[in-house]
Amino acid sequence: MMLPSTVPVTLLFADGVSQRLTVPIGTMLIEAATGAGLTLLTDCANGKCGTCTAQLVSGSVDLEDFDSAVLTDADRAGGAVLPCVCRVTAACAMEFPYDSSEAMSEEPPPLPATVTAVEQVATEIMRLELQVSDDVIFEPGQYVRIRPVGSKISRSYSMANVPGVNRLEFFIRLVPGGEFSQWLGAARAGDLLELSTPHGSFFLRDEDRPRLFVAGGTGIAPFLSMLRAMASQPPKQRTTLLIGARTPGHLLAMKELSELRAKITGLAIEVAIEQGAETGCHTGYATDLIHSLDLDSATRVYLCGPPPMVEAGRKAAESAGLKRADVLCERFT
C-alpha cells in the first residue's frame, strides 16, 4: 500500500474561521502556513517562550527541540503544542487562541518611534518611553517587537500604557550580556526605533469572573496597562494582584499601584520579596501566596514573568483547584 505524501492540516481560529492546508509530510507547520499566506503568532521561533502555544484537537505532530519548562509533560498530555517546532507527520487539527484576522493580515510596515525618555526606575530596571505618530490601538496586556534603527536586534516588550495613545511606556530589565539591554543602557532621547504591530493572546478578558494577576519583576508591565484601563471602567469583579521582586529595590511603580488600588473597587495587592522583605511583605515568591488566597473556582489567572515563576504559578493555581484552561501565561524569555 502506498503511504500518502501529503496530509490535511486544519487550523481553527478563535473567531470560528478554519483553514485547511494540504501539507507534504515532514514539512514544518510554520513553513506550510506561511506558504498558504498565514502568519502564525511566534516570538522566539525555537520552542523557548510559549508565545505560539496552540491546542491539538485531533491527529498528531512531531515536536522538535523545545524547553520542557515551557511545554510540560502535563501540557503535552492535555494536547498543547508549540507550532514553531511542529513537524507535520500525520493529518491533524489545531486550535489557535486568536482570530484568523491576526494570522491572515499581512504584517504592516514597521511603525517609526522616537525615544522621549529613558531612565532607571528600580534596581536593574529601565523605563523606556516612546513617541509614535498615531495612537496605537491594542488590548491591554499585548506586546510589540522593538528594533533600534540600524540594528538587527529585535525584542518583544509589553506595553504598560493604556491603549489608544501615542506615547508608549515600557519597563525593561537590564539582562547582563543581553543585546537589547546593552542598547538600552546607552539609549538617549531622540534615538529612533521601529515597532511591530501589537501582538499576543495575553490580554485582559472582558468578563465578570474574579481575576488573579501574578507578576514577577518587569512582568508587572502588562498588568499596569490592564489596571490603568480598569481604573476608567466601572468595577465588575474582585481582582488580586500578587507582585514578586528579588529585593525591595527591584519593585517598580508602587506609588501608582497604591493609587490604582484606591481607584479600583475590589482590587487587592500583595507583595513578595525574595531577599530583605519589609514589614507587610511576604518573604519568598509571589506564587507562594496563591495557596493562601480564598480563590473562587471561576477565577481567571494571568501569570507574567520569568518562565520558572510562570510554571510555579500554574502549578499553584491547579493545586488551588483552578482549571488549566483558565490560566493565561506570558513568559519573558
Which residues bind to ligand FAD, rule: CB under 6 A? Answer: 43, 49, 51, 143, 155-158, 170-173, 175-181, 200, 218, 221, 330, 332-333
Residue 203 interacting entry, from ligand FAD, ligand FES, none, C-beta within 5 to 8 Å by type? none
**307, 333 contact by CB (below 8 A):** yes
Residue (of 133, 183, 184, 140) closest to 158 by Cα position: 140
In whole angstroms, how close is the CB of 205 to ligand FAD at the nearest point? 17
Residue 269 interacting entry, from ligand FES, ligand FAD, none, C-beta within 5 to 8 Å by type? none
In whole angstroms, how close is the CB of 173 to ligand FES at the nearest point? 19
In whole angstroms, how close is the CB of 213 to ligand FES at the nearest point? 22
- H or E segment to which residue 101 belongs: helix 100-104
Minimum CB distance to ligand FAD smaller for 157 or for 302: 157
Residue 316 CA: distances (Å) to CA of 85, 192, 283, 287: 28, 42, 17, 7
Rg (CA), the chain: 20
Which residues contact ligand FES by CB under 6 A? Answer: 42-45, 47-52, 82, 84
Minimum CB distance to ligand FAD smaller for 10 or for 46: 46
| Three-class secondary structure of residue 40 per DSSP | coil
Residue 47 interacting entry, from ligand FAD, ligand FES, none, C-beta within 5 to 8 Å by type? ligand FES
Long-range contacts for 308-315 (Cβ within 8 Å, ≥24 apart)?
A: 308/69, 309/214, 309/216, 309/219, 309/244, 309/285, 310/50, 310/216, 311/69, 311/72, 312/285, 312/287, 313/214, 313/286, 313/287
Residue 96 interacting entry, from ligand FES, ligand FAD, none, C-beta within 5 to 8 Å by type? none
Residue 138 interacting entry, from ligand FES, ligand FAD, none, C-beta within 5 to 8 Å by type? none
d(Cα 85, Cα 28) in Å, to the nearest integer?
Answer: 7
In whole angstroms, how close is the CB of 240 to ligand FES at the nearest point? 28
In whole angstroms, how close is the CB of 293 to ligand FES at the nearest point? 29
Residue 289 interacting entry, from ligand FES, ligand FAD, none, C-beta within 5 to 8 Å by type? none
d(Cα 297, Cα 17) in Å, to the nearest integer?
Answer: 30
Minimum CB distance to ligand FAD smaller for 6 or for 333: 333
